[in-house]
């Protein structure tokens, strides 16, 4: 919660994101306060992904995009975690109708996919998930927005 007395939320400290929080303007802190209560703090990655999911569920796509950008700066991530963060970013971009950004994020995940494919399968009970945002939303934009039917 945004502390009017200037105190930092305990969740931020637990996730070791003090520099991130101190660098935020008041408006961003107020927006973050809507999603921070009870958030997972086991790592900066968990913190950001849960915040992004909460902002997206609230249809606050602009803030979800900002949180993704912040996660790239402040969270130490494996290739798999970068891939999963990109999946969240793709959804936020798509819903914010930032179609060129959707394509760029999808292309980044196309490049990462060969490196993380086995981990994706392992983390999904031994099978490939039916929904992969980088694949589905790339097609949505290329065909549905760009009207390019000759993939």
- Length of the chain (residues): 151
Contact 20, 36 (CB under 8 A): no
Contact 110, 134 (CB under 8 A): yes
Other beta carbons within 10 angstroms of residue 129's beta carbon come to 13
Contact 138, 103 (CB under 8 A): yes
Does the structure show a pLDDT above 80 at 5?
Answer: no
Does the structure show a pLDDT above 60 at 21?
Answer: yes
* Rounded distance between C-alpha atoms, residue 58 and residue 47, angstroms: 17
Instruction: Answer whether 0.85 is exceeded by the pTM.
Output: yes
Q: Residues 6 or more apart from 24 whose CB is under 8 A from it?
A: 32
Does the structure show a pLDDT above 60 at 2?
Answer: no
Q: How many CA atoms lie within 13 A of 46 on its CB side?
A: 11
Contact 52, 71 (CB under 8 A): yes
Helix (H, G, I), strand (E, B) or coil at 32: helix
Task: Express each pLDDT in 102-151 by its tens digit.
Answer: 999 999 999 999 999 999 999 999 999 999 999 999 999 988 876 877 76
Q: Give the mean pLDDT of 11-22.
A: 95
Structure tokens given for 90: 């793709």
* Rounded distance between C-alpha atoms, residue 112 and residue 100, angstroms: 19
């Amino acid at each position: 919660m945004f502390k009017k007395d200037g105190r930092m939320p305990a969740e931020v400290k637990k996730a070791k994101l003090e520099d991130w929080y101190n660098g935020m303007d008041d408006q961003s802190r107020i927006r973050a306060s809507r999603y921070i209560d009870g958030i997972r703090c086991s790592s900066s990655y968990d913190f950001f992904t849960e915040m992004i999911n909460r902002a997206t569920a609230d249809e606050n796509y602009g803030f979800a995009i900002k949180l993704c950008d912040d996660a790239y700066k402040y969270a130490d991530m494996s290739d798999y975690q970068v891939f999963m963060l990109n999946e969240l970013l793709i959804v936020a971009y798509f819903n914010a109708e930032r179609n060129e950004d959707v394509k760029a994020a999808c292309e980044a995940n196309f490049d990462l996919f060969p490196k993380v494919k086995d981990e994706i399968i392992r983390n999904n009970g031994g099978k490939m998930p039916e929904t992969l945002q980088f694949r589905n939303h790339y097609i949505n934009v290329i065909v549905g927005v760009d009207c390019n039917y000759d993939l």
